[in-house]
Amino acid sequence: MVTAWTLDVPAVLVVLVLAVLYLRAVRRQSTWPPGRTAAFLSGLATIVLVTCSFLAVYDTTLFWVRAVQNIVLLMVAPLLLALGAPITLLLRSAPAPVVAGLRRFGRGRFARGLTFPLVVTAMLAAPPLLIYLTPLYELTLDSSIVDALVRLLLVLAGFGYFWTRIQLDPTPRDDSHLVSVWISLAEVILDGALGLVLWLGPLLAPAHYDALHRNWGPEPRTDQIIGAGVLWIGGDLAGLPFVGALIIRWARDDERRAREVDARLDEEGAAGEAPSGGLWWENDPALAERFRRR
């Protein structure tokens, strides 16, 4: 686990390019939170760790190693990348025509449909189900090209989910944070269902693992049970930082709205305007439209 390393050239090149572009964009900003830079670079480092460490050396030998790799690429690395607010940085540093095009795309129907809550839920939940409940898993073991594409799609799917849920960057939709909580609960249920299927179900890719003639480590059934636990419990544990970030973001948005309401009330008081009659929520700018009397 310590000495087994390999070099995934495509992954390392992509990570280096993204790191250079991000740092160059940061240098052009007069102010940029260092925490965002640290988060984004940590996400890139996580991708290198998953694709070059023992997790890459043994990902076709042990089922549980592949499970760890997939969870990190779907849940951990994308969350760190999203916390780096790369889209905000891109909008601040890209040429004006590029920014205008991105904003037009973000306001379009396709982008809004792609970021609909049910779509992003499927974006996070579907990849593990497709990998482990279809022949795709065995293909990733036997084809390096398929394996690389699946890794890329895992990172993109995870980033799409966390980008739209944390809303640190501009998003096509402004959904309530409560929607993210319900999506997280649905993801926990699906993780448990997949874990049970892999724990109690038949062995995956038995011909591949039998051909290895491995005489060390856990036997195939135990190996798959460990991997099922990784996907079940590990997936939920990997989602805890997201829940924490979501709660922090939710609290900050509430504080911002409270300041806006206080400022509006202060302006009305200074202008000598008396608040209109009715219950308090009928005078709250954030709730008036929803609860106004017909």
pLDDT in tens, 29-69: 888 999 999 999 999 999 999 999 999 999 999 999 999 99
Cβ-contact 221, 203 below 8 angstroms: yes
Structure tokens at 212: 């290895």
- Could you tell me which of 137, 131, 141, 139 has the C-alpha nearest to residue 212? 141
Question: Mean pLDDT over residues 92-121, rounded?
Answer: 84
Instruction: Report the alpha-carbon distance of residue 278 to residue 2 in Å, rounded.
Output: 67
Q: Please give the DSSP secondary-structure letter assigned to residue 42.
A: H
User: For the whole prediction, is pTM greater than 0.75?
Assistant: yes
Burial class (CB in 10 A: 0-12, 13-18, 19+), 236: middle
User: Is residue 189 in a domain?
Assistant: yes
In this predicted structure, what is the pLDDT of residue 232?
Answer: 85
In this predicted structure, what is the pLDDT of residue 106?
Answer: 81
User: Is residue 176 in a domain?
Assistant: yes
User: Is residue 248 in a domain?
Assistant: yes
User: Is residue 226 in a domain?
Assistant: no
Cβ-contact 231, 71 below 8 angstroms: yes
Amino acid, res. 4: A
In this predicted structure, what is the pLDDT of residue 193?
Answer: 84
Instruction: Report the alpha-carbon distance of residue 20 to residue 40 in Å, rounded.
Output: 12
In this predicted structure, what is the pLDDT of residue 170?
Answer: 85
78: pLDDT strictly greater than 90: yes
Structure tokens at 184: 């997280």
Structure tokens at 199: 């724990």
User: Is residue 86 in a domain?
Assistant: yes
User: Is residue 191 in a domain?
Assistant: yes
Amino acid, res. 158: G
User: Is residue 205 in a domain?
Assistant: yes
Instruction: Report the alpha-carbon distance of residue 239 to residue 236 in Å, rounded.
Output: 5
- Could you tell me which of 283, 286, 287 has the C-alpha nearest to residue 259? 286
The total of structural domains in the chain comes to 1
Using the structure block, give the residue that is written with the tokens 């993204």: 18
User: Is residue 229 in a domain?
Assistant: no
